[in-house]
Chain A
Amino acid sequence: MTFNAAALLLLIAGLALIGWIAGRARSNLLAARAQAKLHSRPQYHGWYVALWLFAPAALFLAVWSAVSPGLITNDVLASEAAKDLPAFGFERGAILSDARNVAQGKQDAVRIPAAAPLVAPYADATHLYAWIGIGAMLALALAGGLYAFTRIKPDFRARTRVEKIVMLVLLLASLVAILTTFGIVLSLLFESIRFFRLVSPAELLFGTNWAPTSGAPQDDTFGGIPLFWGTILIGAIIAMIVAIPIGMMTAVYLTQYAAPRVRRWVKPLLEILAGVPTVVYGYFAALTVAPALREFAVMLGIPNASTESALAAGIVMGVMIIPFVSSMADDSINAVPQAMRDGSLALGATPNETIRQVLIPAALPGVMGGILLAVSRAIGETMIVVMAAGLSANMTANPFASVTTVTAQIVKLLTGDQEFDSAKTLAAFALGLVLFVVTLLLNIVALRIVKKYREAYE
């Protein structure tokens, strides 16, 4: 007997259905008997019973699924058989999970002999807590259901109650966003503070030497400037040099020149470009663009040409951003009132004079906001730089050389085999915090500009 949360959820859903039918029937019955008119339609009484039956039990189920594995393990560890377990580390974990898998029927036999004596205690504890859990859950469900059932009366305001609950659920759903934001802020802050106990914030923000894996922990340095520079070079300079002109001109062409038929074809094309996953862009950059650029650089005689060049990552990232820039610019240009365009054309301006001298200046705030959002996207982009930009922290303006970025280093620091609490892994969170703060500021400023701009033309 194991505790299968999904099956139990189905079980209480089934019970809730029965509760729904019963509540409905009872309200009808009572109304008929008392010859009174129901305040709420019968199905609301049904919903009332079903919710009371389902919600507490489901809540308990969630809590129980989270805590019961811990309780089981505690029991097993307290048993006689657990005395011989190695005290720490990987082996202990492996033995325990081996025994658990056998006890819960996921595996036919133990793979590690030392796990064999633990199987029986595991099975016992699993049974015990499963029964406790199921019993408590059913008791809760029945208690809730009965409570609601007895409250049904013809004049009972079931609909109001149900609607109150619905509103509560809606409110809770929208709080998830705040919760996520707080979760991000708190977890980044928490780990970063631990990092800053080891390394001063000044070193991270202003240090010029990045060597977190020098081999000897005391020699590790965490100077972030080379990463910040690499991030800016790739995301804010090279990518934007590619994305802004092409994206803007695409938007201009589509909004001002293209026939509707052309627009119908080009728009999905841009959507495809926007929908290509970043890992594909990264692979393309590393496989095709980077080697070609390196050959080109060698031909020009540029020193330090690398197959992991800032240029390759930046160009491909720029292409990735094109649809984003073009759709933001498209929106901004479209938001400029038609009267503005007509006014210019009626003076005998050509379309391109109208676009350059009237439409784009008028759309500029919106476009700027869009570009800030694009920059925020580019500097947070990970896969392209992980795959194509390399990991060497160089401070160079040579686009053919290899640089590294904040995101690439976060990945590097967290995918090795370090202890979770080492300065290296904590450094990843500190970098994450920097990245989060910068993108947050960019986003807030950009969204504010865009909003102001929209209001200006409404």
Chain B
Amino acid sequence: MSRTTSPTDWKGGAMQARIAKRYAAERRFRLLGLLAVLASGAFLAFLLFVMVGNGLRGFTYTNVAVPIDFKAMPLTVDASRLGDADADQVIAGAGLADIVAFAADEALGDGGSAMISENAWKEVRTAIKADPELLQGSTVFHLPASSEVDIAAKDGGKGATGAKVDALERDGKLSTGIHWPFFRNADATDPAVAGIWGALKGSVLTIFIAFLIAFPTGVLAALYLEEYAPKNRWTDLIEVSINNLAAVPSIIFGLLALAVFINWFGICQASALVGGLTLALMTMPVIVIASRNAIKAVPPSIRDAALGVGASPVQVVFHHVLPLALPGILTGTIIGMARALGETAPLLLIGMRAFIGDVPGGICSPATVLPMQIFLWSDEVDRGFVEKTSAAIIVLLIVLLSMNALAIYLRNKFEKRW
């Protein structure tokens, strides 16, 4: 009566064909999954490739060698005033710009002054301030080229300007170097002197303010909700508020800031202060949620142990729970701050899109931030700004990636399994 053969014919041809089909479907499905992952990877690689390809050029600049003979064209300034605070005005007033333009025409032929940046003379001025002796003789200055010449030189001499650039190249008058003004200056209308320092400093100030407000508030709120809050409708309301705020579009925070901070309170418009306040409101819910998760992960046994030796609830939290949750809280905070650092939309609405040619002096002076600088440059018609935009993106991405890497490092280092 034993039954040894199965009624289902697993070895039969039809069944084998079916199995083969099922395995084929399996392979296709798996491939599809792999393709999905690869698609994301490919997009990221393409994006980085484009940005780096465009942006690396933005870190260098073409200089033109222009000899200036101050004996032939004397700059009449009182050498004793070169150390003064208003030395810039003094030198400018003495007509240095004309001298440089004249020297360029002389050295580079007709239209030579158009081949160097209109701000090139400021480089000469800086050099003179550093070394007044220059005024006594003839020196070859390597001055920033005009944006057009710079692009033609980097493109290998194409177009109308190309021929002239080629000629300069052959004469050995062109050189390429790291574009220091890019790291030193604030925004400008001339790509030869436009830089990200102003925006970078604005970003640092803004984020610092956002951090100062959002971090303590967020952590304290998380402690309250996780450790003390009674279960009632107010607490529910707080929780719902926080969860929703974390998902509210960032531009809504811009509207809030415009209506409340600027129009009601009249806090200095377009400043790092308003920007920081806005981003603080935006980041706080993120910090609360991350902190709550970190606090939740601290096992109750630790609380019981501390309560058991007679610690008060406040002592339990500040002596035991908070230190244990801190790595997780910091990780969440860094990620939140990185997000705030890349944020543009709400800041557009509070006036931070204005052209700001100065490095911000304080938290109340007009400022811009790095992502905003990118947005502004992306709109510029001058072709020289294309590579500046990408270069600024590279800087921003490097900053953000380092922040995220730090967060991941913290998470991995301190991640505990209780």
A contacts, CB < 8 Å to B: 66, 106, 108, 159, 163, 166-167, 169-171, 173-178, 180-181, 183-184, 187-188, 190-191, 245-250, 252-254, 256-258, 266, 268-273, 275-280, 282-284, 286-288, 319, 322-323, 350-353, 355-356, 373, 376-377, 379-383, 386-387, 407, 410-411, 414-415, 420, 428-429, 432, 435-436, 439-440, 443-444, 447
A-chain residues with CB within 8 Å of residue B348 when the two chains form the complex: 382, 386, 411, 414-415
Chain A interface main SS type: helix
The verdict on A173 contacting B30 (CB below 8 Å), with A191-B259, A275-B400, A278-B344 known, is no
Instruction: Flag if B44 contacts A272 (CB, 8 Å).
Output: yes
Say if the beta carbon of B114 comes within 8 Å of chain A: no
- Least Cβ–Cβ distance between B384 and chain A, in angstroms: 15
Task: Tell me the residues in window 208-249 of chain B with beta carbons closer than 8 Å to chain A beta carbons.
Answer: 216-218, 220-221, 223-225, 228-229, 237-238, 240-245, 247-249
Instruction: Flag if B374 contacts A280 (CB, 8 Å).
Output: yes
Instruction: Flag if B35 contacts A414 (CB, 8 Å).
Output: no
* Interface contacts beyond A159-B312, A268-B408, A350-B23: sample of 4 additional A-B pairs, CB < 8 Å, sorted by A: A275-B335, A379-B249, A435-B251, A444-B240
- Top 7 nearest A-B pairs (CB, nearest first) are A380-B249, A277-B342, A253-B33, A249-B36, A173-B220, A382-B345, A187-B259
A-chain residues with CB within 8 Å of residue B284 when the two chains form the complex: 176-177, 180
B-chain residues with CB within 8 Å of residue A284 when the two chains form the complex: 47, 50-51
Task: Tell me the residues in window 353-408 of chain B with beta carbons closer than 8 Å to chain A beta carbons.
Answer: 353, 361, 371-372, 374-375, 378, 386, 389, 393, 396-397, 400-401, 404, 408
B-side interface size class: 35 or more
Q: Which of B32, B33, B217, B225 gathers the greatest number of chain A CB atoms within 10 Å?
A: B33
Q: How far is the CA of A187 from the CA of B341 in the complex (A)?
A: 25
Say if the beta carbon of B265 comes within 8 Å of chain A: yes
Say if the beta carbon of B178 comes within 8 Å of chain A: no
Residue of A nearest to B267 (CB): A66
8 A-B Cβ contacts within 8 A? Answer: A166-B318, A177-B241, A181-B241, A184-B248, A269-B40, A282-B378, A432-B251, A443-B243
Residue of A nearest to B342 (CB): A277
Number of A-B contacts (CB under 8 A): 255
B contacts, CB < 8 Å to A: 22-23, 25-26, 29-30, 32-37, 39-41, 43-44, 47, 50-51, 85, 216-218, 220-221, 223-225, 228-229, 237-238, 240-245, 247-253, 255-256, 258-260, 263, 265, 281, 284-285, 288, 312-314, 318, 335, 338-339, 341-345, 348-349, 353, 361, 371-372, 374-375, 378, 386, 389, 393, 396-397, 400-401, 404, 408
Q: How far is the CA of A269 from the CA of B343 in the complex (A)?
A: 20
Instruction: Flag if B245 contacts A177 (CB, 8 Å).
Output: yes
The verdict on A271 contacting B404 (CB below 8 Å), with A253-B33, A253-B36, A277-B342 known, is yes
B-chain residues with CB within 8 Å of residue A258 when the two chains form the complex: 37
Q: How far is the CA of A108 from the CA of B89 in the complex (A)?
A: 14
- Least Cβ–Cβ distance between B11 and chain A, in angstroms: 15
Q: How far is the CA of A173 from the CA of B240 in the complex (A)?
A: 15
Instruction: Flag if A276 contacts B30 (CB, 8 Å).
Output: no
The verdict on A173 contacting B389 (CB below 8 Å), with A187-B260, A249-B32 known, is no
Instruction: Flag if B22 contacts A350 (CB, 8 Å).
Output: yes
- Least Cβ–Cβ distance between A144 and chain B, in angstroms: 22
Q: Which of A276, A277, A432 gathers the greatest number of chain B CB atoms within 10 Å?
A: A277
Residue of B nearest to A320 (CB): B43
Q: How far is the CA of A180 from the CA of B284 in the complex (A)?
A: 10
- Least Cβ–Cβ distance between B43 and chain A, in angstroms: 5
Instruction: Flag if A283 contacts B393 (CB, 8 Å).
Output: yes
The one of B37, B263, B338 in contact with A254, judged by C-beta atoms closer than 8 angstroms, is B37
Q: Which of B22, B25, B47, B245 gathers the greatest number of chain A CB atoms within 10 Å?
A: B47
Residue of B nearest to A171 (CB): B224
Q: How far is the CA of A273 from the CA of B42 in the complex (A)?
A: 11
Q: How far is the CA of A355 from the CA of B26 in the complex (A)?
A: 10
Instruction: Flag if B244 contacts A279 (CB, 8 Å).
Output: no
The verdict on A257 contacting B30 (CB below 8 Å), with A279-B374, A353-B22 known, is yes
B-chain residues with CB within 8 Å of residue A169 when the two chains form the complex: 220
A-chain residues with CB within 8 Å of residue B378 when the two chains form the complex: 279, 282-283, 286-287, 387
The one of A159, A166, A178, A249 in contact with B33, judged by C-beta atoms closer than 8 angstroms, is A249
A-chain residues with CB within 8 Å of residue B372 when the two chains form the complex: 279
Instruction: Flag if B247 contacts A439 (CB, 8 Å).
Output: yes
The verdict on A280 contacting B258 (CB below 8 Å), with A380-B252, A382-B250 known, is no
